[in-house]
Amino acid sequence: MLSRRILQVASWLSLAALIGPPTAFLAGRMELDAMKIWMLVATVTWFIVTPLWMGREKPHDAASEAA
Amino acid sequence: MSANGEFEREPVPQSALLGFKSFPGMYAGEHCAGTELMLGPLFVAAGVSARDLIVGLLLGNALAVLSWMLLCAPIAVRARLTLYYQLEKICGRKLVTVYNIANGVMFCFLAGSMITVSATAVGVMFPDISMPTLESVRPETFGWVAVVLVLGVLISVVAAYGYDAVSRFANIASPWMVLVFLAFGLIGLRQFLNETGTEVHSAGDLWHMLSTEVWTGGEPLPGSTKFHLAHVIFFAWFCNMAMHIGMSDLSVFRFAKHSWYGVATASGMYVGHFMAWAAAAMLFALQLHQTRADEHLQQLLVEHGKGVYAAEDLADAPLTADMVRAGMEIENRLVEQGVMKEADKKVKAPTPLPGQLAFKACGIAGLICVIIAGWTTANPTIYRAGLAFQAIVPRVSRYKVTIATGLLATVAGMFPAIAMQLLSFVALYGLILMPMGAVVFADFWLLRKLGLSPYYAERVRISVNWPAGVAWVATVAICVGLVMTGNPLFQIYFVSLPGWFIATAIYIGLSKVMQRPVAAAP
C-alpha cells in the first residue's frame, strides 16, 4: 500500500515536471532547449512509473474479490 | 445478467449504474486525441479570427454539452439500452445491419486520418520522406505509402490482438497527453510574444496580440473554406453529432444514474475541443508567422503582382494566404500564356503537419505525443469499426475482421485528403449518422403521443421498418442536395440542423401512413 502511494506521488511529480518547464518558458525563465529536455525526462518518468499502479487493483480490492 | 456483463441486449440494472465521477475523466481522455492536432491548425488555414475562434468554441461546445444533456442522456437513463439494440427494436435487424456498415465505413475513414496524423511524426524522423501538402488528395510518394502502411499494419495487429492492453495504455497516457497539449499552447504563446516583441501587462494586451498576430482572420489558405463565427459554433456543436444528436452515446449514458450526468461531457469539450484545438491552432499560426515567401514566390509577386508587393516588404513579412493565393493565380496565368509549364508550378500553401509542429514546440516529448495520440485513438476506432462489420459476417473471427478493417483504414490513411479536409469530413460523418438519432428521439418521445407505436419493428416482427430507413436515406440525400446548391446557408457545416427536423418529420409522417394497428404494449 505504501509503495503504491509512493509510485502515485512519483507520477504526479512527473506531471508537475512536465508542465512546469513550459510554464517557466512562458514566463521567460527557461530556455527552449532545456525545457524540451525536462519534458522528455518527465515523459519517460511518467510512462515508467504510472503503469506500475494505474489500472491495477488496489490490494484490498484484490483481497475482497479473492474472498 | 448478460454473459459478458455489458448488458448488450437488456436494460442496464440498477446495481450496475455508475456515479458521476466515472464520466468526466473518460470524456476528457476521449476528446483529447490525435485529430485535435489536425483540427486546430485547420481552423487557422480557414482564416478564423481570434474572436470567432474563442467565442465560437465557447458557444459551440456549450451547445454540444446541452445536446448530450437534453437529447441523448434523458433517453439513455430511461431506456438503458445500447443504441444498436434500441435501433434494432425500432428499425429491424436488416436496417440496423446497413446502419452498422455506414458506421463502420465512417469509423475506418476516421481511423485512417489518425494514422495519417501519426505518419507525419515519422516524417520528422525521416526528413527525406516527402510529406503531403494541404492540397494533396492521393498518395504522392512511395515513402509516404510505406510509412502509412507500416504504421497502419502495426496499429491493426495491435487492435486485433492487444486491444485491452492499448486501452489500458491509452488511459495511462491520457493525463500526460492533456498536459502536453496545454504545453503546446504555452510554448506557442511565448514564441509569439518573442516573435512580435509584445509585452503583456493586462488581459487587453494579450487579446490584442491574439487578434492581430495569432488568429488574424482574413482570407483562408487555398483549398480551405473561410470560417466565420457561425462556422466555428456549428463545427464545435456538430463535430460529435454522431454521439449526442446521433445517439451513439446512449451506450455510455445507459450506465448513468441521472440524465444531468451529460454535463460530464463538458470536460471533453473544453479540454479537448477548446484548449487542445486552440493550442494546436496556435502552433500552426506560429508556423505561418515564421514562414517567409521563398525566392520563387517573391519573384512572382514582385514581377507579376501589378505593383501590390515590393521586394523589400516581402523579405521580412510573414507569409499570408493572400500572397499564396496571388502567387498561384500568377502561375496559372503564366501557364495559360505559355510562359510557364504546368510542371514548373511551385507555389504551395503551408501545410499543418502535426508531427513537425509538435516536435518544434516540445521536442521528442511532442513527437511521442503525436504518435501516441494518433495510435491510441485509431486503435479503438478500428476495433469499433471491426465490431460494426462483424455484424455482417458473424462467422468470421473478430481478429480477422479487425485486421481487415485496419487494412481498410490504412488504405484510407494513405489518402491525405481525409486528414487535410478533416473539418468537412467530420461534418459529413455527423450528417450521415444523425438521422437515426432523430428517429430514436421521435420514436421515444413523440410516437406514442401521436397514437403510433414505438419499437415498431420489434412489435410486428419485421426486419426493415421502412419509415426509419426512408427517413435516414432521404434526409442524407436532401442535405447533400442542399449542400450541392452552393448556397452559403447550406454548407456542410450547417445543413445537419434542418436535417434533424427533416428526418423527424419524415419518420413521423411515414409511420402515420405505414404503421398497422398494433396491440398495446404491456
- B226 has a pLDDT exceeding 50: yes
pLDDT tens column, B26-74: 888 888 888 898 999 999 999 999 999 999 999 999 999 999 999 999 9
A26 shares contact with chain B (CB less than 8 Å): yes
| Mean pLDDT value across residues B321-330 | 91
For B475, residues 6+ apart whose C-beta sits below 8 A from its C-beta are B434, B435, B438, B499, B502, B503, B506
Work out the burial of residue B329: count CB atoms within 10 Å of its CB; fewer than 13 is exposed, 13-18 middle, 19 or more buried.
middle
Residue A64 pLDDT greater than 50, yes or no: no
Q: Which of A23, A40, A55 sits opposite B365 (nearest CB)?
A: A40
The predicted model gives B279-307 an average pLDDT of 90
How much is the pLDDT for B409? 94
pLDDT at res. B123? 83
Does the pLDDT of residue B443 top 70, yes or no? yes
CATH 1.10.4160.10 maps onto chain B at: 19-290+353-514
Cell numbers describing residue B120:
507525419
Q: How confident is the model at residue B3 (pLDDT cuts 50, 70, 90)?
A: very low
Question: What average pLDDT score do residues A27-45 get?
Answer: 96
pLDDT tops 60 at residue B479 = yes
State the Cα–Cα distance between residues B349 and B257, nearest whole angstrom: 50
Q: What does the alpha-carbon distance between residue B499 and residue B242 come to, in Å, rounded to a whole number?
A: 13
Residue B216 bridge partners (DSSP): B49
Mutate to test the interface with A, among B186, B286, B364 (most CBs of A within 10 A): B186
Mean per-residue pLDDT, B292-303: 90
User: Mean of the pLDDT values across residues B392-413?
Assistant: 89
Provide the mean pLDDT of chain B: 91
Helix (H) / strand (E) containing B265? helix B265-270
pLDDT at residue A66 in the model: 34
pTM: predicted TM-score of the whole model, two decimal places? 0.91
From CA B330, how far away is CA B472, in angstroms rounded? Answer: 46
The pLDDT of residue B142: 92
Q: How far apart are CA B450 and CA A28, in angstroms?
A: 65
- A16–chain B Cβ distance below 8 A for any pair: no
pLDDT tens for each residue of B338-386: 889 888 888 988 888 999 999 999 999 999 999 888 888 888 888 878 8
Closest CA–CA distance from residue A40 to any residue of chain B (Å): 5
Q: Tell whether domain B19-290+353-514 is in CATH 1.10.4160.10.
A: yes
Chain A residues touching residue B180 (CB < 8 angstroms) = 18, 39, 43
**pLDDT band, residue B143 (cuts 50/70/90):** very high
DSSP line for B174-189: HHHHHHHHHHHHHHHH
For the segment B101-124, the average pLDDT, to the nearest whole number, is 89
Interface predicted TM-score (ipTM) over 0.85: yes
Cα B222 to Cα B95: distance, rounded to the nearest angstrom: 41
- Nearest chain A Cα distance for residue B287, angstroms: 16
How much of chain B, in percent, has pLDDT values that exceed 90?
Answer: 66
User: CA–CA distance from B155 to each of B108, B342, B359, B372, B399 (Å)?
Assistant: 13, 39, 22, 11, 13
Q: Does residue B326 have a pLDDT over 60?
A: yes
Cα–Cα distance for residue pair B503/B435, rounded to 1 Å: 5
